[in-house]
Amino acid sequence: MSTQVTEKSDEKEEAESTEQSPGERRREEKAKRQQEKEAETPELIDEADETVELKIFRFDPEVPDKEEPRFDSFTVPYFEGMTVLDGLIYSRDNYDSSLTFRHSCRQAVCGSDALLINGTQRLACKTQMVDLEWPIRVEPLPHQDVVKDLVVDMEHFYEQMNAVEPYFDPDELPEEDREEQKQRPENREKIKLSTRCIWCGACMSSCNVAAGDNEYLGPAAINKAYRFAMDEREGGDKKEDRLRILEQEHGVWRCQTQFSCTEVCPKDIPLTEHIQELKREAVKSNLKFW
């Protein structure tokens, strides 16, 4: 009887020792998928119309061998309609799974994949490879701390956006619970372009003033303030408060009208124009006639 128990116990221990942990199974499956992709890569490149070289900025402060910034080159197959984001995804999936960058909707709506592409701030998902000079150089947004590879720390940008209090505070609300706050079509047309901001940070990254003044609100935050200050549904008291925020030392008056923010905005918002109009509003609010 004891011999049978011992034999069963030995068999159980042997089975447990050969059984893989969940982590080991995942790593094995990942390695298998990577091998399959590597086997497919030469075929895809052979089938492509052309190939394009991506020179991608790399940096990882947590890995000793990668803590020095460098550029890695990846050859990717080019097909008609291919974007820079497509090339980045291909490079990550077929060459180096540690390549890190942000992306989400792939429709130029989320703003998460703003990068410095061939020296200009652009959305990777919106930028067609055919419109660029090859090889294509891809870097993180300038003037922001790099977390890893193409990912930058956006915390300061979000703080500046929130500093202008981006929400409505009307003087009066409709009497009926389900009654909307009405807006004239011409007023909607006035603020329409300012509502297109997707918080990508491209304009802030291109601004020389923001690069040298960490307290400057920046074009994105000022545009967000414009969106509310110029909305006729905004309360009078709240508009005055908002203008006081904007006319501070690091507000609209720091803008040097270089138009760099307007040039790189992926949603074609006339940011510089909006900043100048807010300067005029700030002056008018301080005029006293008596």
Which pLDDT band, with edges at 50, 70 and 90, does 10 fall under?
A: low
Range 1-15 average pLDDT = 52
pLDDT of residue 171: 79
Show Cβ contacts of residue 53 under 8 Å, excluding neighbours closer than 6 positions: 73, 74, 75, 76, 134, 135, 136
The answer to whether 247 and 164 have CB atoms below 8 angstroms apart is: no
More confident residue, 88 or 11: 88
pLDDT of residue 174: 76
Domain-terminating residue out of 104, 136, 152: 152
Identify the CA nearest to 260 among candidates 208, 216, 214, 220: 208
Dig out the tokens for 165 from the structure: 């209090």
CATH (domain of 35)? 3.10.20.30
Reply yes or no on whether the pLDDT at 30 is more than 90. no
My answer on whether 160 and 282 are in the same domain is yes
The answer to whether 124 and 115 have CB atoms below 8 angstroms apart is: yes
Range 200-204 average pLDDT = 97
CATH (domain of 246)? 1.10.1060.10
Measured from the Cβ of residue 206, the count of other Cβ atoms closer than 10 Å reads 24
Show Cβ contacts of residue 96 under 8 Å, excluding neighbours closer than 6 positions: 72, 74
109 exposure class (CB count in 10 Å sphere: 0-12, 13-18, 19+): middle
14 domain residue, yes or no: no
Kindly state the DSSP code that residue 128 receives in the 8-state scheme.
B
Please state, rounded to an integer, the average pLDDT across all residues of the chain. Answer: 88
Distance CA 79, CA 93 (A): 17
Domain-terminating residue out of 152, 167, 182: 152
Which pLDDT band, with edges at 50, 70 and 90, does 263 fall under?
A: very high
Reply yes or no on whether the pLDDT at 218 is more than 80. yes
My answer on whether 80 and 133 are in the same domain is yes
Reply yes or no on whether the pLDDT at 233 is more than 70. yes
Distance CA 168, CA 176 (A): 18
More confident residue, 29 or 280: 280
pTM of the shown model: 0.80
- Which residues span the domain enclosing 36? 21-152
My answer on whether 97 and 159 are in the same domain is no
The answer to whether 154 and 220 have CB atoms below 8 angstroms apart is: no
* Tally of structural domains, the chain: 2
My answer on whether 46 and 118 are in the same domain is yes
Give phi and psi for 186, each to the nearest 5.
-70, -30
Show Cβ contacts of residue 263 under 8 Å, excluding neighbours closer than 6 positions: 206
| Helix count and strand count (H, E) for the chain | 11, 7
pLDDT of residue 158: 96
What percentage of the chain carries pLDDT values higher than 70? 87
My answer on whether 68 and 148 are in the same domain is yes
What is the dihedral angle through the alpha carbons of 112, 105, 72, 35, rounded to the nearest 10 degrees?
Answer: 140
pLDDT of residue 39: 54
Show Cβ contacts of residue 253 under 8 Å, excluding neighbours closer than 6 positions: 247, 279
My answer on whether 228 and 271 are in the same domain is yes
pLDDT of residue 288: 54
My answer on whether 189 and 210 are in the same domain is yes
Angle at 253 between CA 215 and CA 219, to 5 degrees: 60
My answer on whether 93 and 168 are in the same domain is no
Domain-terminating residue out of 107, 131, 152: 152
Place of tokens 């601004």: 207
The predicted-structure confidence for 154-167, as pLDDT tens digits, reads as follows 999 999 999 999 88
The predicted-structure confidence for 105-150, as pLDDT tens digits, reads as follows 999 999 999 999 999 999 999 999 999 999 999 999 999 999 999 9
My answer on whether 91 and 198 are in the same domain is no
Reply yes or no on whether the pLDDT at 7 is more than 60. no
What percentage of the chain carries pLDDT values higher than 90? 66
